[in-house]
C-alpha cells in the first residue's frame, strides 16, 4: 500500500473532502477511502446557490461536484447522511452519527464550516443560506413577502442581496461596518461595491449593530444599537461562518480558530489531517496562520493533502488564496490577501470605466491583486504572488502593461488618478 496506509476516512463530502480523495487516487493509493457526508444530497457545488440558483426563475438544479460514475470509478465509499460524531485517536476510529466505528490509518477532516447563528429573543434561529433546504426557504420567502432584510454584508450576504433584487425583492442590508467588506477591500473599493448595490435599490443601514430581533416570518422587529427599530416581514443573516468542530471535543486534536495544522496539513495528532474551511494552517506565502473559506482553496488544498498522504510526504501547501464573487452580472476576482495598512494602487483602468486592477502591498511586500475584468493581467500577478514577488516587482509588471503608470498614485487619491488617466 502506498505510504503504508490502507484505510483513509474523509470527514466531509464537499469540495475539500472529495478533492482529497482525488489526490489519494491520483498518487496511486489503492486502499479504501470512505467519505462521510452529513447531508443526504449528492455532493453539490455550494457557491452556485448564492451566485446563480437563488436568482434562477426555474426550479433550481444543484450542480454536482462529482457524478456517481466518477465516485464509483474512484472507488470511494460515499456515505451520505453520515456525519462524524467523534474521533478516537487512541484506537483510531471515526464514530458516525449512525454509531459506526470506522477504522483509519489516516483521517482527513474536511467538514467545512457552518453559518454563524443569530437567534430571536424567543430562541428561533434566523435563516441563512448554506444548504439546498435554506435555498428553498429563501426562494419561497422572496415570492411571498417581496421584502427582505439581510443582517451582514459579507460575500454571501451581498450575493444574496443581488440575487434577491433580481427577483424583484426590496432589500435592506444592516451591518455594523461602515462599508461592506471594507476590511477585505479597503474603503474605496468597498464604496464602489456599496454603490453598485444602491444603484439597484438596495438600502444600507451601516455602522450600526443589531441589538436584538423579535417576531416571526411576516413581522419582525430588529432593534439596533442606536435605539432605532427596523421592521421587516422577513429577516435572514449572513454574518460569517465558524468551523464545524464540535464533534472533535475531547479528541485531542488542537482547535484554535479552526483545526490547527502545519503547512502540510497535519494536525497535532499523527495520522489526522485537515483541509478546506475547517483548517487553520500556517501559510508560507502569507507568513501567518490563516483559515481560508473559499472554494478554490478547498479544492486545491484538499487534493494537495491527498497527495501528501498517499506519497508519505509533508510538502507545504502554498496555493495563492483566490476568491471571486458575482453580483449583478459583474465578476470581481482577487488573488492574495489584503492586509490592514496596505497601500492600494490602481495599475489598470479605473472605477469610472467599470474595469480596473488594483494592487495591495506594504513595506516593499506585495500582498494581493483585485480586479473587475482585466483577467489576463490578473493571472500574471497570481504568478508573481506564487513565487513571493515583491512590491517593486509588481510595479515593474504593472509598467510593462501600462508604461505611463504613475506609481505614486494610490486609489485613495481618486481625483488625481482620474486626471492622470485622462492625460
Instruction: Say how far apart CA 410 and CA 420 lie, in whole Å.
Output: 12
pLDDT of residue 419: 35
Q: How far is CA 199 from CA 99, 127, 194, in A?
A: 53, 26, 9
Q: Within the chain, which residues score under 70 in pLDDT?
A: 1-4, 408-423
Residue pair 203/171 in contact (Cβ under 8 Å)? The answer is yes
pTM: 0.91
pLDDT of residue 234: 98
pLDDT of residue 12: 97
- Residue 254: closest CA among 102, 24, 89: 89
Instruction: Say how far apart CA 374 and CA 8 lie, in whole Å.
Output: 42
pLDDT of residue 284: 87
Q: Are strands 241-243 and 113-115 parallel, antiparallel or unpaired?
A: antiparallel
DSSP 201-214: T-EEE-S--EEEEE
Instruction: Say how far apart CA 14 and CA 63 lie, in whole Å.
Output: 12
Instruction: Identify the residue whose cell numbers are 449572513.
Output: 238
165, 63, 106, 300: CA torsion to nearest 10: -70
Amino acid at each position: 500500500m502506498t505510504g503504508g496506509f490502507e484505510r483513509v476516512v474523509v470527514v466531509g463530502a464537499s469540495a475539500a473532502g472529495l478533492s482529497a480523495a482525488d489526490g489519494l487516487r491520483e498518487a496511486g493509493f489503492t486502499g479504501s477511502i470512505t467519505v462521510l457526508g452529513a447531508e443526504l444530497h449528492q455532493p453539490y457545488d455550494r457557491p452556485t446557490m448564492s451566485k446563480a440558483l437563488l436568482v434562477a426563475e426555474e426550479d433550481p438544479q444543484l450542480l454536482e461536484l462529482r457524478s456517481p460514475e466518477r465516485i464509483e470509478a474512484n472507488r470511494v465509499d460515499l456515505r451520505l447522511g453520515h456525519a462524524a460524531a467523534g474521533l478516537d485517536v487512541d484506537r483510531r476510529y471515526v464514530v458516525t452519527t449512525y454509531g459506526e466505528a470506522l477504522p483509519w490509518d489516516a483521517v482527513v477532516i474536511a467538514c467545512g464550516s457552518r453559518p454563524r447563528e443569530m437567534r430571536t429573543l424567543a430562541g428561533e434561529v434566523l435563516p441563512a443560506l448554506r444548504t439546498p433546504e435554506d435555498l428553498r426557504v429563501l426562494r419561497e420567502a422572496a415570492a411571498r413577502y417581496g421584502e427582505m432584510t439581510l443582517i451582514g454584508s459579507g460575500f454571501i450576504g451581498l450575493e444574496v442581496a443581488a440575487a434577491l433584487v433580481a427577483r424583484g425583492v426590496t432589500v435592506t442590508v444592516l451591518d455594523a461596518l461602515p462599508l461592506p467588506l471594507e476590511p477585505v477591500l479597503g474603503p474605496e473599493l468597498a464604496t464602489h461595491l456599496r454603490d453598485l448595490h444602491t444603484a439597484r435599490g438596495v438600502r444600507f443601514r451601516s455602522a450600526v449593530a443589531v441589538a436584538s430581533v423579535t417576531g416571526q416570518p411576516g413581522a419582525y422587529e430588529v432593534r439596533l444599537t442606536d435605539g432605532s427599530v427596523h421592521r421587516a416581514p422577513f429577516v435572514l443573516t449572513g454574518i460569517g461562518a465558524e468551523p464545524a468542530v464540535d464533534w472533535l471535543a475531547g479528541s485531542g486534536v488542537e482547535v484554535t480558530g479552526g483545526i490547527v495544522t502545519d503547512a502540510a496539513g497535519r494536525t497535532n495528532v499523527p495520522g489526522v489531517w485537515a483541509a478546506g474551511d475547517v483548517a487553520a494552517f500556517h501559510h508560507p506565502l502569507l507568513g501567518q496562520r490563516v483559515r481560508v473559506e473559499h472554494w478554490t482553496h478547498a479544492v486545491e488544498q484538499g487534493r494537495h493533502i491527498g497527495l501528501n498522504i498517499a506519497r508519505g510526504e509533508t510538502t507545504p501547501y502554498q496555493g495563492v488564496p483566490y476568491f471571486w464573487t458575482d453580483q449583478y452580472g459583474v465578476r470581481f476576482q482577487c488573488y492574495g490577501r489584503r492586509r490592514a495598512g496596505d497601500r492600494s494602487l490602481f495599475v489598470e483602468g479605473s472605477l469610472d470605466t467599470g474595469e480596473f486592477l488594483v494592487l495591495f502591498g506594504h513595506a516593499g511586500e506585495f500582498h494581493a491583486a483585485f480586479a473587475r475584468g482585466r483577467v489576463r493581467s490578473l493571472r500574471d500577478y497570481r504568478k508573481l504572488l506564487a513565487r513571493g514577488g515583491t512590491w517593486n516587482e509588481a510595479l515593474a509588471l504593472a509598467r510593462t502593461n501600462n508604461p505611463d503608470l504613475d506609481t505614486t498614485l494610490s486609489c485613495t487619491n481618486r481625483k488625481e488618478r482620474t486626471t492622470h488617466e485622462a492625460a
